Amino acid sequence: MQIKSKFSIKLSSFGMGSPCSYKLEGEHITGNLFGLVPVRNIHLGAVNYLRLATSDEAPPLYLLFNCIQFMSHRRATRPVYVLQTQSRHRIFLKLDSGTHFRLRQALGRHVVRDKRLAA
């Protein structure tokens, strides 16, 4: 018997550089416009990857408000990560190390195994 717990972790907050806030709630990432109106719900199984973002791939408006986060000496404090879904949607998140670790753990639980395991 599997026990499912409902937990909520704040991933990224609403601010000048990002009009949406994001939370990890159970098996979904929920995006709220201006921190209030739910606009996006992404199942963790639909995530292709999570990796560090580069300044070349960030939208110009996001880069304008968050250019300091892309400087190499600021990487250690709150780096910007890009999360891409199977439908090719990209989300840019500023994550600290603890939040990044928890998100990676949650994503790891929902990895689809393409290879057959040896018996």
Q: Under a CB-based contact definition with an 8 Å cutoff, are residues 81 and 53 in contact?
A: yes
pLDDT digits (tens, 9 = 90+) for 17-50: 677 888 888 888 888 888 788 888 888 888 888 8
Number of domains comprising the chain: 1
Helices (H), the chain: 60-66, 97-108
Strand order through the sheet with 37-43:
8-12, 20-25, 28-33, 37-43
Structure tokens at 108: 């790891």
- CATH value at residue 20: 2.30.29.30
Whether 1 is covered by a domain: the verdict is no
- pTM above threshold 0.85: no
For residue 101, being part of any structural domain is answered with yes
Q: Please report whether residue 61 resides in a domain.
A: yes
Task: Report the pLDDT value the prediction gives residue 61, as an integer from 0 to 100.
Answer: 75
Q: Among the ranges 13-17, 48-52, 64-68, 77-81, which has the highest mean pLDDT value? A: 48-52
